[in-house]
Amino acid sequence: MPTDTAAILDRFRRAGALLEGHFRLTSGRHSPGYLQCALVLQHPREAEALGAAIADRVRGLDVQTVLSPALGGIVIGQEVGRALGVRALFAERQDGRLTLRRGFSLEAGERVLVVEDVVTTGGSTRETIDVAREARAVVVGAAAIIDRSGGQQKIDVPFHVLAEVSLPTYDAEACPLCRAGLPVVKPGSRT
Nearer to Zn ion, 89 or 175 (CB): 175
DSSP 10: H
Q: Return residues touching Zn ion (CB under 5 A).
A: 30, 175, 177-178, 184
Q: Please check whether residue 142 is in contact with residue 160, taking contact to mean a CB–CB distance below 8 angstroms.
A: yes
Nearer to Zn ion, 3 or 169 (CB): 169
DSSP 185: B
Q: Is the peptide bond before 71 cis (omega within 30 degrees of 0)?
A: yes
Task: Name the residue with the smallest CB distance to Zn ion.
Answer: 175
Task: Give the angle 5-8-11 at the CA atoms, nearest 5°.
Answer: 150
d(CA 64, CA 98): 21
Nearer to Zn ion, 35 or 58 (CB): 35
Task: Write down the least CB distance from residue 25 to Zn ion, Å.
Answer: 10
Phi, then psi, of 185 in degrees rounded to 5: -125, 155
Nearer to Zn ion, 30 or 148 (CB): 30
Task: Write down the least CB distance from residue 12 to Zn ion, Å.
Answer: 22
| Backbone dihedral region for residue 54 (phi beyond 0: left; psi -120 to 50: alpha; all else: beta) | alpha
Nearer to Zn ion, 25 or 61 (CB): 25
d(CA 19, CA 35): 7
Q: Please check whether residue 37 is in contact with residue 145, taking contact to mean a CB–CB distance below 8 angstroms.
A: yes
